[in-house]
Structure 1
Amino acid sequence: MAAGRTGTAAALCGPVVAVVLAAGCGTAPGGGSRGEPVAPADTRPRMERVAAAWEGSAALAQWREGFHPLDEQDWAPAGGFRSGEDKAAAVNGNFVLRAALPEGPPSATPVRWDAGGAELTLPLLTAREAYGQLQGGAKGGEARPDRVLSVTAIAFGETTVRTSRGPARVPAWSFTVEGYDTPLTRIAIRPQELPKPPIEPLRTFDGGTAPLFGRSAAPPDATSFEVTAGHGACDGGVAVDVLEGTDTVVLAGRILPGEKAGRDGACPALMLQQRVPVTLARPVGERLVLDSESGAPLEQGPRRR
């Protein structure tokens, strides 16, 4: 395996707020030739253990062979919601059915990946089950009869989602909502259990570990992407160390030293977020990108903690 160190944004752009998302103001590349620098001793052993646990494991095979969507199923109508009340109704799942639900099981429709490979035909949700998922909302809000959205038509078809194996066409139920041109779409596949990481998450920390919250989407031929990492208000930023393997890319966030920001020497209790560029020695391909801290795959998009 080759270990490398990415560039880091050592200073934050803009004012300090409760949570700051800062694109790196500047980067300082790691020394040595590409792919050759050795990760610091405080991150390297853990990275190696995570890589060794995943490489060739049953969990890796399950992750690669299964259907694991990476996107939230949030409804985003073109042009936005007509009002705050409509948005609240959608979030709280306050829908009323003004159309007949299709009866019986939907047609067997496989998941087809844009990059090719084996298709998957999985158990599907009926229209009634999919509509039932809308009731109560993803956030579990309290129903308000004076704030409802009317579903006027239901159709079975396909949609495109990002998955652990790249973009895929998947079976989906489409709900037409009165007053909106953009239908509300829900994946018609019954939820699958995610693979259990073959290594336990870190239980103790040395104070120098930076949490990673997610990474930007990148095509298989990409050699770079960004990672969102957290650090304290008085830290100097974050570096992200990289360990590349045959089947995995392990990332470890590392806090950079900083100076006290307060006049009294106290440091505000803030978690700042920073986007850090990561550059690989070769394209990410089908390799699984892993978080050294949790030992689990690093999601594309913000990680839900």
Structure 2
Amino acid sequence: MPIVATAGRAMLRDYGGSGLPVIFIPSLINPPFILDLTAQNSLLRWLARKGVRPLLVDWGAPEPADRDQDIAAHVEHLLLPLIDALGERPALAGYCLGGTMALAAAQLRDVAGLALIATPWQFAGFPPSARADMASLWASAAPACEPLGLMPMEMLQSGFWRLDPGRTVRKFETFAALDPAGAEAAAFIALEDWANGGAPLTLAAAREAFEDLFAANKPGLGQWRVGGALIDPSRLTCPAIDIVSLNDRIVPAASAANLPHRIDLRAGHVGMIVGRGARTALWEPLAAWLSQLQCEC
């Protein structure tokens, strides 16, 4: 989609539509196009037809020279300049770790509203076994990442596989039985291309994710600083909503920020965005909230 603003390697892509501009902030992990998976399965294209002007942050690909750019620096030096460059007062919608970053941006800028989608904040809410796996993954990966200045996506993907190895095998067994020329096979391939793709993390972002977020739970304890400010959900001054799945294996419900306005749904971490029931479970409630937000603006 057309690029309407840049900040360093990051870009803001415009999906058209009219009405309230809403900047969608994806995770640094995996490519941003989960929000625009295919022309037929795209939250952003659908919203553009529902009185919203969606814009997508594309983080670009970091280079080894970016090794010292941690997650907070991504907010300060990439996300906030993109918001400022838009020239309008947008709402923010963050998915997964992108929501964690969006919450910080919403505290540091005057925005029309904030929607968190499957967003971790209380990292102590992850099961102890998952946090131990993350610590083990980082301990084994860090010595190789240090000279690269980056953490390759393949290292991160191995961590996701470890959440449920049997499920990974089963889904490929199911795929083997599909018609290779059918729509189901095409949808499976599109999703796997997304899941196994993406730019690396900078070394500092990886270290902050594993050490400050998962291990130390700095956001949940009110100790995470961005732009010199302690980020605290209670300090938000804009309307905000927390969309949480009660059976999300990637970002468990117990890790949510628990904003006063919350919608609980039952869908997988990725299924809520692109699954068969995504439109009913997530797209329509999000569109309704954004529509109400636009009326209030």
**TM-score tier after normalising by the smaller chain length:** under 0.3
Q: Higher helix share goes to which structure? A: 2
TM-score, normalised by the number of residues in structure 2: 0.23
> Between Structure 1 and Structure 2, whose CA radius of gyration is higher?
1
Q: Higher strand share goes to which structure? A: 1
